Amino acid sequence: MKDIMTAPFMVEMIRTCTNMYAHGWDERNGGNISLMLEEEDVKEYGDTSRVLRTIPTGFEAPALDGKYFLVTGTGKYFKNVQYAPDVNLGLVKIIDGGKNAQLLWGFSDGGKFTSEFPAHMMSHAVRISVNPANRVVMHCHPTNLLAMTYVHTLDEKAFTRTLWQMCTECIVVFPDGVNVLPWMLCGTNEIGEATAEKMKTARLVVWAQHGLYGAGVDLDEAFGLIETAEKAAEIYMKIAGLPLVNTITDEQMHLLEGRFGVKAREGYLS
């Protein structure tokens, strides 16, 4: 059996957590990641029949029954993942239609997955129905996107168009736009359900005055989506309130659609 610490999914998860902390997106224990894995990804690094303990999930997700997830732990600091991955991460298998999860590795201090695991699983279930290749849901607190929710309308079309106008690459990277939720109590199934509903039409969902959910086919895509949107928000926060002399026009964004083979969200460009 190979050492699980050498598994590509483990190496990339540790790198991603470390980078997110370094970017200032995941202060203290703020933020969480879940990476969906197939049994063939896992079995050469561990005995999938050896269950350490069973943890109730507090939700149902029949579409994810039998799926494996590498997930960050509740109350865990992203800065510590690289030093003690077996404490801060856990590998689980979803069973009983999503009601329970079998812990196969990790959470060695007796911990369990993030309190937002239900929200992650609801989003995973929706995203694989939209794109079966989706494997990642990522939550963090990017500074400028968070700041933007205090000074910009939360209308999704307006919010998206502002971000698209900040960087040429934005409409290429997230042509599906950004969806936005008003402030809601975190760690509840209600915000999980609302986020999952928004995930039907976009891979980025802003939680006003809180943070962001991002989804992707792998850790790089989810990270890159967030990184691009956060850069756009940073530019916006630097120029908000200043006289706007130039911008990226709708005509120019249509040119980007053609050049890069993407299609902007219906109705968002003139």
3-class SS of residue 69: strand
**Taking a C-beta distance cutoff of 8 angstroms, is the pair 124, 36 a contact?**
yes
pLDDT of residue 46: 87
30, two tokens: 């703020």
Say whether both 53 and 172 belong to one domain: no
User: What does pTM read for this prediction?
Assistant: 0.94
Sorted by sequence, the CB contacts under 8 Å of residue 112 that are 6+ apart come out as: 55, 73, 74, 90, 103
Do 111 and 167 share a domain, yes or no? no
**Which of 115, 143, 165 is the last residue before a domain boundary?**
115
Rounded to the nearest integer, the mean pLDDT of the chain is: 96
Any catalytic annotation for residue 116?
yes
Domain boundary among 90, 115, 140: 115
Q: What is the mean pLDDT of residues 108-126?
A: 94
- Write down the catalytic residue from 116, 156, 221, 230: 116
Same domain (yes/no): 141, 220: yes
The CATH number that applies at residue 60 is 3.40.225.10
**Measured distance CA(160)–CA(170) in Å, rounded:** 9
Q: What residue spans of the chain are helical by DSSP H?
A: 8-22, 39-42, 85-88, 117-130, 143-151, 156-166, 170-173, 189-198, 219-239, 250-260
Q: Given pLDDT bands bounded at 50, 70 and 90, which one contains residue 37?
A: very high
Closest by CA position to 26, among listed 75, 91, 87: 75
Question: What pLDDT was estimated at residue 190?
Answer: 93
CB 89 within 8 A of CB 73: yes
pLDDT (tens digit, 9 = 90+) per residue, 123-156? 999 999 999 999 999 999 999 999 999 999 999 9
SS3 of the chain: helix, strand, coil, percent, to 5: 45, 20, 40
Return the pLDDT at 52: 96
- Please tell me whether residues 232 and 258 are part of one structural domain: yes
Q: Residue 24's pLDDT is what?
A: 96
Range of the domain at 253: 117-270
Neighbours of 130 (CB within 10 A): 15
What is the pLDDT, as a whole number, of residue 78?
96
Q: Is the pLDDT of residue 236 over 80?
A: yes
